[in-house]
Amino acid sequence: MDEDEVGTVDVPEATVARLPQYLRALSTLAEAGLRTVSSEALADAVGVGSAKLRKDLSHLGSYGTRGVGYDVEQLHRQIADHLGQTTSWNVVIVGIGNLGHALAGYGGFASRGFRVVGLFDDGAHVVGEVVSGLPVRPLDDLPSVLRPGEPTIGVLAVPAEHAQVVCDRLVAAGVTSVLNFAPTVLRVPADVDVRKVDLASELQILAFHAQRRAVRSTAAAPAPTAPAPTATTSVPALQRSRRPALGATGPVLDRVGEVV
């Protein structure tokens, strides 16, 4: 597949979601001086099955060489092309509260081609403050920060009840890609992409799997001397029994004891 085909081939959404992980693993391999990598080794580094990895990469027209594997640099370039990482993207963050401050200060965007160019908020307590080298501006200044012809991604870190209004303003100003942290569904025109980040849902999914593991291991355990929990053991009971005593385990951090 040549560069002209990037953006024109259909790549399944699940594959797209794994591409950043492949890219990160390939960067690490390149930094370690590796020139080629087998599908098994790359799949191992990412934590997926090698068949799935080969299928994912076949969507990009990359099949590797039998007995050699994939050329690390070439595959890195190819995935970076598909992820639009060979151009730089402007990012504006709206809502400079707890989350917005953390996002504005995150150092990992620039190395992946994302440049934070504007911070916006409507709160008098924060407008004018300089956060990570950028002044926080009112949303009315949005048009002066967005540059025609330069793709800009809008990041929403405002309370859910304000997210739609802010999203509408971003879209009206020409933003066609929105990353939404607010726990609400946004309505946007068909030519606007919205991705939602929801850490609470991710925690719920982990809790779901942990709970199922607990139920299965309880069911599979040999009969204990004490009365065995049955399949009807209540979820709260399992959750309580699995919860460690506060402070009993966990890493020793130099901020332990800090009240956050």
Position 179 contacts ligand NAD (CB under 6 A): no
What 3-state DSSP class applies to 178? Answer: strand
Position 126 contacts ligand NAD (CB under 6 A): yes
What's the chain's Rg over C-alpha atoms?
Answer: 23
Position 198 contacts ligand NAD (CB under 6 A): yes
Q: Could you tell me the smallest distance in angstroms from the CB atom of residue 258 to ligand NAD? A: 18
Position 97 contacts ligand NAD (CB under 6 A): yes
From the list 15-23, 104-112, 192-200, 219-227, the region that binds ligand NAD by CB under 6 A is 192-200
Number of chain positions touching ligand NAD (CB under 6 A)? 26
Binder among 121, 154, 171, 178 for ligand NAD (CB under 6 A): 121
Helix (H) or strand (E) holding 41: helix 39-46
Gap between the Cα atoms of 177 and 194, Å rounded: 6
Instruction: Identify residues 75-94 at the interface with ligand NAD (CB under 6 A).
Output: 94
From the list 67-75, 153-161, 215-223, 231-239, the region that binds ligand NAD by CB under 6 A is 153-161
Q: Which two tokens stand for residue 259?
A: 């009240």
Q: Which two tokens stand for residue 217?
A: 């291991």
Q: Minimal CA–CA distance to 195: which of 208, 205, 182, 210? A: 182
Binder among 26, 80, 146, 157 for ligand NAD (CB under 6 A): 157
Query: Rounded to 5 degrees, what are φ and ψ at 195?
Result: -115, 140
Q: Could you tell me the smallest distance in angstroms from the CB atom of residue 197 to ligand NAD? A: 4
What one-character-per-residue DSSP string does 64-115 give? -BTTTBEEHHHHHHHHHHHTTTTS-EEEEEE--SHHHHHHHT-TTTGGGTEE
User: 34 and 72 in contact (C-beta within 8 Å)?
Assistant: yes
Position 129 contacts ligand NAD (CB under 6 A): no
Query: How far is C-alpha 120 from the chain's CA centre?
Result: 22
Write the CA distances from 201 to 181, 197, 206, 229, integer angstroms: 12, 9, 9, 28
Question: Measured between alpha carbons, how far apart are the two ends of the chain, in Å?
Answer: 50
Q: Is 100 annotated as a binding residue?
A: yes
The residue with its CB nearest to ligand NAD is 97
Q: Minimal CA–CA distance to 16: which of 61, 71, 57? A: 57
Q: Could you tell me the smallest distance in angstroms from the CB atom of residue 101 to ligand NAD? A: 7
Q: Minimal CA–CA distance to 120: which of 172, 173, 157? A: 157
| 70 or 120: CB nearest ligand NAD | 120
Position 199 contacts ligand NAD (CB under 6 A): yes
Q: Could you tell me the smallest distance in angstroms from the CB atom of residue 128 to ligand NAD? A: 13
Position 197 contacts ligand NAD (CB under 6 A): yes
Q: Could you tell me the smallest distance in angstroms from the CB atom of residue 93 to ligand NAD? A: 10
Interface with ligand NAD (CB under 6 A) = 94-100, 120-123, 126, 139, 157-160, 162, 165-166, 181-183, 197-199
